[in-house]
């Protein structure tokens, strides 16, 4: 079942990053246009894709460790580096919020899937 759905797991991560960016834009009254969300999201999405490649996420897409942790750290670190290079904001408080929220979104769904699979298998 998971084998057929592996490409969809990357989409779950992408959706999580897009939700993070859309909520952030909304909370700062920046609007929710597709262009605006894309402008905010591209550094983080770049990090997400690099994290998937670095962790070979397609092998164990639902694993918190190592896939989820590598994807999450890549999303935050590369996202912030790209924001810095492009003169976008990287205030310490933003880094903390971004790291916390993306951890919940990128690691949280993996934890839920893992618990669900363990319950189904009786482990």
The parent domain of residue 117 ranges over 2-121
pLDDT per position as a tens digit, 36-53:
999 999 999 999 999 999
pLDDT per position as a tens digit, 84-122:
999 999 999 999 999 999 999 999 999 999 999 888 887
Phi, then psi, of 89 in degrees rounded to 5: -70, 135
- Which of these, 39, 15, 9, lies nearest to 25 by C-alpha position? 39
Q: Based on the structure, what is the number of domains in the chain?
A: 1
φ/ψ bin of 3: left (φ > 0), alpha (ψ from -120 to 50), beta (otherwise): alpha
What global pTM score does this model have? 0.92
Count Cβ atoms below 10 Å from residue 14 Cβ, excluding itself.
16
In this prediction, residue 51 carries a pLDDT of: 98
3-state DSSP helix/strand/coil % of the chain, to nearest 5? 80, 0, 20
DSSP class of 57: T
User: For residue 9, what is the enclosing H or E element?
Assistant: helix 2-27
């Amino acid at each position: 079942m998971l084998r057929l759905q592996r490409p969809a797991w990357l989409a779950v991560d992408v959706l999580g990053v897009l939700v993070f960016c859309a909520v952030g834009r909304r909370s700062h009254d920046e609007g929710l246009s597709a262009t605006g969300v894309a402008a905010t999201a591209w550094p983080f999405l770049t990090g997400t894709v690099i994290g998937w490649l670095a962790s070979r996420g397609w092998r164990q897409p639902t694993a918190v460790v190592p896939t989820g942790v590598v994807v999450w750290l890549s999303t935050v670190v590369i996202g912030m580096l790209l924001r810095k290079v492009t003169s976008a904001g990287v205030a310490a408080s933003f880094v903390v919020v971004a790291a916390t929220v993306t951890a919940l979104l990128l690691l949280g769904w993996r934890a839920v899937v893992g618990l669900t699979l363990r319950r189904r298998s009786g482990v």
